[in-house]
Structure 1
Amino acid sequence: MTDGARGRRDLLGRMRGNWRRNLFLLLFVLDLGVITLAVAAGFFARFAMAEASLDTVRSQGNLYLVVVPALILGWQASLLLNQAYNMEIIAIGTDEYRRVVRATFFTFGALAIVLVLLRWQVARGFLAVALPLGLVLLLIERLLVRRWVLARRRRAMLVDGVVVVGSPHEVRYVAEGIARNPAAGLVVRAVATDTTDAPTFELANGVVVPQAGAIADVVDAVHRYEASTIIVAGHNRINRKQLRELGWQLEDTTIRLALASRMTDVAGPRIHWHPIEGLPLMSVEMPRYSGVKYSLKRAFDLVIATGMVVLVAPILFAIAIAVRLDSPGPIFFRQTRVGVNGTLFKMTKFRSMAVDAEARLAGLERQNDGSGLLFKMKDDPRTTRVGAFIRRYSLDELPQLFDVIAGSMSLVGPRPPLPREVEAYDHHVHRRLNVKPGITGPWQVGGRSNLSWQESVRKDLYYVENWSLSGDLVIMFKTLRAVLARDGAY
């Protein structure tokens, strides 16, 4: 490759990578603005809202002239150090939010240590406002930016073009996974399978991509198809020597190299690298279903569920009256469901159907709009007038907050199944019962009744093995959006 050709190709790579720089600058500026706003709010809450005297302002003003800018800059630096601007995690999964939370608490922890060592007296009211307000605003800002990014990625903007390398089977598995997840910011431009049987390569979802031919020429293919990343889908068509030589070819370019693992449905926090000279080992932490992490989840459930019961008490009372006046029968509907480890419990909901709904189910089985083991019907004749409304906005599920407080359910978890559904489970589907069922969960925010049975199971199993408290918070935020949009609710 000539120096001129290499220079032109490097320029193309820099042009294609501009979206990363621009997105970094956007996030940086927005984060800085949000942090400044939160710190300023804490300052004014201390002096303005507290009606501090002019003498107090004068005596402590010089201290805050140091603390305020130091806190702003330190907070921003902590976001950088915690890699909250890593483009590989932006708008993907919950790791972005987790890093923002970690950076925030690190900042205030470091500030507290410095204040103690220097014996500076900073008002607790200042920190009590700045910390929670800043964290909430940062998370909301990141959520809004994520929605903006995802909207553009669905139109093939803000994406990296990739060339996938490997055997046809390996390439198809990786390419189809990329096509199913536009949020990842990757678009398959071509594949290289060392075959010349056909000029194109067809994926199962009907997408057709060019066949780049020889794996040895994959670097040229990256430039030819205006891609920026090479993904090695497996080792059947590329050995260690070829992989090492490929890495050498990329040293003076802006092209990125990624290796696809055969380990599927494993979240990032469970993956750990153990570098041994010449042999990078990837270990996967096996899921655990007890311990401190689950104690924290239980505490979180209790605090939030209790607070929500107090907050929505008037709504609960109003719905109870509406249900009683709308049709004869009890206010609540209690049904046996299967909980953690196969234990049975009575799940509580507002009654949304006629009292003889269970007896009429057999006659409606053929009209099932659900999939797999789930029975769902868009225009179910058993639904009452009030029931249709409260189901549309998931208000019928509010009494499940009492099930959470009692310990039978969690705020977030897999959908609570019926005993007859569990009896028909395949062996691997029983893993859904390793954790408590939830009022909301991946099924609720991923399409609800619009999901196929297989997709519903896959989402639940992924949650069971990879859940985190920050992930639960994200699902709760998404639940609010899904409920308001009435996505798949019937």
Structure 2
Amino acid sequence: MRLRSRTGRRDTPREQRVGAGANSVSAPVVIDPASPPPQWASSNEAWRTPAEAARVPTTGSRLRTKLALLVTDFAILNIAFLVAYWLRYDLRLWPETAEFFDAPLSSYFTAQTVFVGLSLVMVLRLGLYRLKRTTQWLDEVGMIANAVTIAISVLVIIFFLLRPGVTSRAMLAYVWVGSIGLLSTFRLVLRWIISRRRRAGIGVSRILVIGAGHLGKMVMQQIAGRPGLGYDLAGFCDDVACAQGTNFGRFECLGPVRDLPGVIATHRIDEVVIALPSAEHATILSIVGLCERMGVEFRLVPETYDLTLGSLEVDHIAGIPLIGRRETTIRGINLVIKRVIDILASSVALLVSAPVIALLAIAVKIDSPGPVFIPQVRVGMRGRTFRCFKVRSMHQDADRRLADLMKDNEAGGVIFKMRDDPRRTRVGRVLRKLSLDELPQFWSILTGEMSLVGPRPPFPHEVAQYEDWHKRRLSVTPGLTGLWQVSGRSDLPFDEMVMLDLYYIENWSLSLDLKIILRTIPTVISGRGAY
């Protein structure tokens, strides 16, 4: 959750309690408001070398970047209009109509001006120029499509209701498709260029994590695994880890929380991520106040077991805000659309994968004795159990040997995961690596017990160990792939898997499903996190 810094000075507590991740420690935290020298108060650029300052985006550079994007989009939209005219009137891809083919380019000047202007206004309003590091390309494509569609719709109203002149409907169709295609392609190329520059250390932001508990470690893992975002993780601050001399992999504890001003200055920190328990509210406020005074951006990470912001809705009674849980969007017409997509996609997938499943069956029978398919009882929506099938990837005595291997569980929580599981057959290792053992589950999707995208269906014995907040993942139809499968798969701890499932439930949309499906393909091919 991003909080924007506010101007002005704030009185902050001098002594607080500090939390190390999920646990709170009874130790006073003193963050002296006077500790940063005066030259730090207005900007963190004052204590950078010229070379370092040049590698960090400033307000001026961001403004210039936005202006450059605006000018480029202006040019692309005009080019799209000219290309559309060329396709319609020079190539004549549409059935010829004498009235339309006599229209010169100048007759479309008004339409071109209105379209380009409206498109840029809508792109601005939809936030395409906010330059957020975490925005995905498909999100940008969605904003571009919305902006261009609105602009074209206004043109349709103007030129087909008011009829100020001759206008070709095919021409507007070409403009619509061309504008979305060219703008989206430009954004894709731009993202590739920016990613390359960030990997080279240009435009990166030095980041510091406060807290070394589960939340802090999760943040560090995610930042380290996404160098294209442009974050350079300097390390973390935590009282307990510092006292014990504990580091987290290659990331060092840079000091206790009370030394935060010095750490920010010494390590040239641009942004602070606060990953402390919400019970340490006073300490968090103290850190926020310090960041404001030093001109350092800050972000807050909600605790694992807290309600995520996407699940909340706010109502009012006589001006009193009432916060409650928002219903999932996977209902009503959205549920019908999702089900239709599941039926169509699973039908095609079963037909296409039938020869592959036949070859897998032969390989499994040759490799080891036992059946080709194994039935499994899983828990679906609202706790209902159902039976799904998988291609066998383990020896027949796998269930009996599970108890002996529990001590080697690498997943933690209620699920069992093991990288080099000795129960797996030779063919089974390949099946699991590429997730080919799950192909028969398209039948469960066709019958409605599963969906293409959703939380993975758990075993009954896993559900029996769920905490209350875990059970909310059973509020929707389970899926073949999901958000955590494309965010690390089995490499993620169980609580983080559930958090990603809850995020999906609370923020579901058709575009989110599409993004997950598109990300599933390279994830499966690479085999990352599959075991």
Same fold (TM over 0.5): yes
Shift of 1:435: 1.6
Cα distance in 2, alignment partners of residues 40 and 269 from structure 1: 42
Q: Deviations over 1:162-220 (max 9, x none)?
A: 577xxx86x97886565333256555669899x9xx999976554233679677xx5x9
Structure 2 CA distance for aligned equivalents of residues 433 and 4 of structure 1? 50
Partner of 1:288: 327
Instruction: Specify the SS of the correspondent of 2:524.
Output: helix
Structure 2 residue matching 1:424: 3-state secondary structure: coil
Change (3 A) 1:307 1:243: closer
1:82 and 2:126 correspond: yes
Matches within 5 A, 1:46-57: 46-47=88-89, 48=91, 49-50=93-94, 52=96, 56-57=100-101
Q: Does 1:362 align with 2:408?
A: no
| Conserved 8 A contact 1:35-1:72 | yes
Structure 1 Cα separation of the partners of residues 432 and 144 of structure 2: 35
Aligned partner of 1:181 among 197, 217, 222: 222
**Aligned residues with identical type, % of pairs:** 24
Deviation at 1:228, TM superposition (A): 3.9
Distance in structure 1 (CA, Å) of the matches to 2:237 and 2:364: 64
Partner of residue 354 from structure 2, selected from 317, 325, 350: 317
For 2:324 and 2:301, how far apart are their aligned partners in 1? 15
Cα displacement (A) at 1:94: 7.8
- Please report how far the alpha carbon of residue 369 of structure 1 lies from its aligned counterpart in structure 2 after TM superposition: 6.9
The residue matched to 1:444 in structure 2 has which SS?
A: coil
Change (3 A) 1:460 1:238: closer
Instruction: Give the drift of 1:445.
Output: 0.6
Q: Which residue matches 1:374?
A: 416
| Alignment partners' CA distance in 1, 2:244 and 2:431 | 51
With 5-14 and 370-379 compared, the bigger mean Cα shift is at 5-14
- Please, which of 436, 440, 455 is the counterpart of residue 481 of structure 2? 440
Write the letter of the residue equivalent to 1:236: A
Provide the aligned C-alpha RMSD in A: 5.0
Q: Which runs of 5+ in 1 are unaligned?
A: 276-280
**1:141-172 Cα deviation digits (max 9, x unpaired):** 656655665666567653333577xxx86x97
CA contact (8 A) 2:380 2:457 kept: yes
Q: State the SS of the aligned residue for 2:472.
A: helix
Correspondent of 1:159 among 186, 191, 204: 204
Report the CA distance between 1:437 and its aligned residue. 1.0
Superposed displacement of residue 441, structure 1: 0.6
Aligned residue type for 1:301: K
Determine the C-alpha separation between the residues in 2 that align with 1:397 and 1:30: 45
Whether the aligned pair in 2 keeps the contact of 1:352 and 1:391 (CA below 8 Å) is: no
Is 131-140 or 461-470 further displaced after alignment? 131-140
> In 2, distance between residues paired with 1:129 and 1:401?
38
State which of 239, 249, 252 in structure 2 corresponds to 1:207: 252
The one-letter code sitting in structure 2 at the alignment partner of 1:487 is R
The aligned residue for residue 236 of structure 1 is: 282
SS of 2:103's equivalent in the other structure is helix
Distance 1:124 1:228, change over 3 A: same
Aligned to 2:300: 260
Paired residue secondary structure (1:417): coil
Which has the higher mean CA deviation after the structures are superposed, 28-37 or 427-436?
28-37
The whole-number CA distance in structure 1 between the counterparts of 2:335 and 2:200 is 41
Name the SS of the counterpart of 2:452 in structure 1: strand
Question: Which residue matches 2:10?
Answer: none
Q: Which residue of 2 is the match for residue 481 of structure 1? A: 522
Mapped contact 2:237–2:253 kept (Cα < 8 A): no
Do 2:411 and 2:417's aligned partners in 1 also have CA atoms closer than 8 Å?
Answer: yes
Structure 1 residues 313 and 423 mapped into 2: Cα distance closer, same or farther (>3 Å)? closer
Q: CA 1:214 to 1:455, structure 2 compared with 1: closer, same or farther past 3 Å? A: closer
Matches within 5 A, 1:118-137: 118-119=162-163, 122-128=167-173, 130-131=175-176, 134-135=179-180
Where 1:420 maps in the other structure, the secondary structure is helix
CA offsets, 1:263-287, max 9 Å, x none? 6676665578999xxxxx9986624
Deviations 1:91-143 (A, max 9, x none): 46986565445434433443344334533665444455554565466556656
Quick one: which amino acid aligns to residue 253 of structure 2? Answer: V
Distance 2:215 2:429 in 1: 42
Question: Aligned-pair distance for 1:343?
Answer: 0.9
1:14-53 correspondence runs (5 A): 15=54, 16-18=56-58, 20=62, 24=66, 28=70, 42-43=84-85, 46-47=88-89, 48=91, 49-50=93-94, 52=96
Contact 2:311 / 2:327 at 8 angstroms: preserved in 1? no
Query: Are the equivalent residues in 2 in contact too, given 1:305–1:401 (CA < 8 A)?
Result: no
Please say if residues 310 and 503 of structure 2, whose CA atoms lie closer than 8 Å, have aligned partners that are also in contact: no
Structure 1 residues 416, 83: CA separation in 2 closer, same or farther (over 3 Å shift)?
A: same
Q: Is the 1:212–1:221 contact (alpha carbons within 8 Å) kept by the matching residues of 2? A: no
Distance 1:473 1:80, change over 3 A: same
- Structure 1 match to 2:457: 416
